[in-house]
Structure 1
Amino acid sequence: MRQTVLGIDARGPHLLGATSRAQIRTDFFGSTTNSEYSAGGLIRLRTARASLDWQNTQAFFSYDRTILVPDAPTSLASVAIPPLSWSGNLWTWNPQVGVSQSIPLSTTSKLTLQTACIDVGDPLLPSATSGSASTLAERSRWPGVQFRAGSSFGPVDSETRFGLGGYFSPHRATDGSRFDAWAATADLHLPLGKYLLLTSNAYRGQALGGLGGGGYADFIYRDYEGATTLQPIDDVGGWAQLAIKTGRFETNLAYGLDNPFSKQIRSRTASSTAPTYSGLTRNSTLMLNTIYSPNAYLQFSLEYKRLQSTFPSRDRYASDAIGLSGAYRF
């Protein structure tokens, strides 16, 4: 029930020669409250988007994942928190405003240029709760910027896409220290014949906790010449999924990895005076699921996931999860 997603799609009037559109998605995975014996706070905003669409140009505002990740892994069991979260999928929802421009190259191919400003949030550990305090990015008084250039060709129902992107966001910590978050990304959407589809995304960057990477952290503290200094965490990761679609069945095999540079983190943990690091040095997820759709409204899925998490102490923990889920689309 709490993973139920409700949404509204709307089309508005024509403005400046463009079609106006908007959509919003909510679920029931918000924080619960014990006061007044109610379920207050359960409704949660997931994503929202409003756009002005011209023939080849789009101006948009969104509360969604970064434009650097055009595709997402498929799962019917992991809805409230998207699949492969903190395992290479830069999934976190952040406010963005941007422009997209398509440049037709032929009747079946085009070049797409996208740029957007982003108000990236601070990473939260699973047990943490969010508040209304200013984020480290907001403290810098500068928005983050992101850019993606992609090309596509082929028919719409079997389109091949490839893109490269970049991200930069100044941050300012509560003690006044400044650091920059950045990333370089690549993404692929490749049909392999009639039944197979390969999708993937990879990144290399720094201080990516606010986008869903970095082992739940943007930085660590280190002792340097008798003083405690802040050091952004370098990070590399990504995910890939192979989808097999045959009639009413769809099978997805996916793997994701988020790998903060453990050498940086372990050099800090050797110090006894710097604040404790609570994040991970490596987190990976292997996922296999099958989705059965007997009709246009019903879906059933059996899913297996194996999660492996490594901590600065080099302790590694693994967990297996098997889920059976059903959904009704309306």
Structure 2
Amino acid sequence: MRIFDAHCDVLYQMWLDPTIEFADSPKLHITYKRLKEIGGKVQCFAIYIPEQVRPESRFEVALEMIDIFYKRVLAPSPLLKFVRTRDDINALKDNEIGAMLTLEGCDAIDNSLIKLSTLIRLGVSSVGLTWNYANFVADGILEERGGGLSTFGKDVVRELNRSYLWTDVSHLSIQGFWDVMELADFPIASHSNSFTICKNRRNLQDEQIYALINKNGMIGINLYPPFLSTRPKITISDMLKHLDYICSLGGEYHVGFGSDFDGFSETAKGMENYSCYEVIIDSLLKHYSENQVSRFLYKNFLEHIPR
């Protein structure tokens, strides 16, 4: 069964440690080998600029990660193909895997639409507006001020609309989320869960889930344990609760997976790396039809690509 994973931090890990090879490094949750073995069809690779990078260096670090994407991820992986549109993905051969480039947080662009346009020209297909804190675009979910989109932030969303790109609200403040709902043509939450099921600030409240569904958006289930449950021992059943709940709110055609693999070190039992998708598929097929499982794993995100 095909898998579309809307978020991982492989590029960040490879930027931190230049010795890591994407082919089969034991330091990575997602590798070329695992994508081939488990049925990966589309993998989104995020550009994430860590907080410790000085503001004046952040755009350059974004360029370095893009260079890693093309030279150290794509080039040595013959079956991995760069994609950015639905047609690109549909044109993949049966044994080929699509690789999409995304931006996690607009810290890298400062207050410059030129920098944003440059990243888009280099292949970025989805833009997360913030990480957890504030930047020129908006406040993140952990910023105490809780502000929404700035004037510049609204310009960014309009540019994403014009470019037919996803506007990603994962990590965004609550006010910022509602500002995006008013402006964005193609909103998603690439790696966020249900706040009702697990009361972590990074998760989405019911009203936010309803809003994304009504805007024909997508929600990617995140496998990071603190976003799944507050219980000490977390398993795949905890992940299923989030998917079941989002479906109960009307999200059957608006939910998929954004694992967040390689963005964390603490993993849940049975979800230690990309290979867990085999177990996830088996678990889903016990509760849902094959067509529904195919939607959750692949078709829903594919059908919501803006172009």
- Please give the TM-score of this superposition, normalised by the length of structure 1: 0.33
If the length of structure 2 is used for normalisation, what is the TM-score?
0.35
Q: Give the structure with the larger helix fraction.
A: 2
Q: Whose relative contact order is higher, 1 or 2, with alpha carbons under 8 Å and at least 6 apart?
A: 2
Report the structure number with the largest CA radius of gyration.
1
